[in-house]
Amino acid sequence: MQFTAYDTEGFFDEMFQATGQPRRGAAALVQQINALPAGELLRHQRAAEQALLHMGITFNVYGDEAGTERIFPFDILPRIVRAHDWTLIERGLRQRIQALNLFLDDIYQQQRIVKDGVVPEFVIHSAKCFLTPCVGLRPPRGIWCHITGTDLVRDRDGQIYVLEDNLRCPSGVSYVLENRQVLKRTFPQVFAASHVRPVDDYPSRLLDTLQYLAPDYISSPTVVVLTPGVHNSAYFEHAFLAQQMGVELVEGRDLVVVNGFVCMRTTKGLQRIDVIYRRLDDDFLDPQTFRPDSMLGVPGLFEVYQDGRVALANATGTGVADDKVVYAYVPKIIRYYLNEDILLPNVPTYVCWDDTERQHVLANLDTLVVKAANESGGYGMLIGPHASVAERQEFA
């Protein structure tokens, strides 16, 4: 890993500067790697991948004809986030999530932000994940979004941006936790001389958060993780978090509404459930309120939730706050509710219902990424720099 000159090709390298020298904070890691015998780094990489395989750390790929299960990608070289950068990230995410929670509470109640002309009404009501049944809903403790997965990127100069908010059923934290353990076992010298902040308290902090939501402040609430089942792409994570928190992993068929409460079927009879960490989308939660053809949810669950006799994390209806058009308004949302400037800026974004911005997008398709407002998972998206002329013309 020796460089005299280094062309980053317009990207930000997390470890090396353009001069070839390690970035501040990465020097100790580079020194450790350079001290390894030839081929040793590759051996560590293969050992780590073998460990992941034996531990069953996998994810499912929909539509993959070669097989549905894959080992989660693992890089033996860790990404170093300096304490200074992390402080900014933490402050920026706290600000953003607080504002989005206030936004959710407002749009399902008084819609002051719409009446004051900050966010157009049609932006809210055209959002696929704005759920009319949630109008007037008061989630436990007034919290809509308890767990958030925020995608971050850097530009070529190192500026950190928020690429996307995920406020419905964000996944991925189990891989962070397990990858950290694998790295510590296969490459312990990386940690020996570094003051790396721990992440292994996440399951206990998650459980504390879920227990806090229990109706009537029950002192020892029953918490479950609700999964769509083994074929879901994040099933490993569902099982992992349930095991780490010491709670039951259940499917919709394991739960039933009886006398106005959600109960779990057990060998000893029905047991009341107080908090559900749900890992399936709103549409499938309750066939009586949302999709009537859902076989994954619990009939009558939403009514119990509305009545405050069970807590859900995240709350239903949170998806409107991670809508791709609403994303463009997040700086204004933060200013409106918190009277603060945004700390972690959005990626420059253009909304194509605006004539001027649409013309800019069409004129610069070769340099932009265009996403359909009501799609997710990569559907309806054009990556301009990687698309052919014909693909861009068809998309336009």
Is residue 301 domain-shared with residue 386, that is, in the same domain? Answer: no
In a domain, 195, yes or no: no
The one-letter amino acid at 383: I
pLDDT at 6 over 70: no
Picking from 8-22, 237-251, 258-272, which range would have the lowest pLDDT averaged per residue? 8-22
Is residue 139 domain-shared with residue 205, that is, in the same domain? Answer: yes
Is residue 354 domain-shared with residue 292, that is, in the same domain? Answer: no
In a domain, 338, yes or no: no
Is residue 366 domain-shared with residue 297, that is, in the same domain? Answer: no
Range of the structural domain that residue 206 is part of? 83-165+201-324
Is residue 147 domain-shared with residue 281, that is, in the same domain? Answer: yes
In a domain, 153, yes or no: yes
In a domain, 345, yes or no: no
Query: Is pLDDT larger for residue 353 or for residue 208?
Result: 208
Is residue 313 domain-shared with residue 374, that is, in the same domain? Answer: no
In a domain, 145, yes or no: yes
Is residue 318 domain-shared with residue 354, that is, in the same domain? Answer: no
DSSP letter for 278, please.
E
Give the C-alpha separation, 132 to 8, whole Å. 48
pTM comes to 0.92
Digit-coded pLDDT (tens) for 254-294: 999 999 999 999 999 999 999 999 999 999 999 999 999 99
Query: Is pLDDT larger for residue 311 or for residue 232?
Result: 311
| Chain mean pLDDT for the chain | 91
| In the chain, % of residues over pLDDT 70 | 95
Digit-coded pLDDT (tens) for 140-178: 999 999 999 999 999 988 999 999 999 999 999 998 999
In a domain, 330, yes or no: no
Task: From 324, 342, 373, give the residue that closes a domain.
Answer: 324
pLDDT at 1 over 80: no
As a whole number of Å, the end-to-end CA separation of the chain is: 44
In a domain, 384, yes or no: yes
Digit-coded pLDDT (tens) for 100-132: 999 999 999 999 999 999 999 999 999 999 999
**What is the structure's pLDDT at 157?**
87
User: Total domain count for the chain?
Assistant: 2
**What is the structure's pLDDT at 340?**
98
Give the C-alpha separation, 222 to 287, whole Å. 24
pLDDT at 69 over 70: no
Is residue 154 domain-shared with residue 227, that is, in the same domain? Answer: yes
For every residue of 102-150, DSSP letters joined together read HHHHHHTTT-HHHHTTSS-HHHHHT-TT--GGGTT---GGG-S-SS-EE
CATH of the domain at 254: 3.40.50.11290
In a domain, 194, yes or no: no
pLDDT at 137 over 90: yes
3-state helix, strand, coil in the chain (%, to 5): 40, 15, 45
Is residue 214 domain-shared with residue 297, that is, in the same domain? Answer: yes
Is residue 299 domain-shared with residue 373, that is, in the same domain? Answer: no
Is residue 246 domain-shared with residue 127, that is, in the same domain? Answer: yes
Query: Is pLDDT larger for residue 393 or for residue 299?
Result: 299
**3-class SS at 35?**
coil
Is residue 222 domain-shared with residue 288, that is, in the same domain? Answer: yes
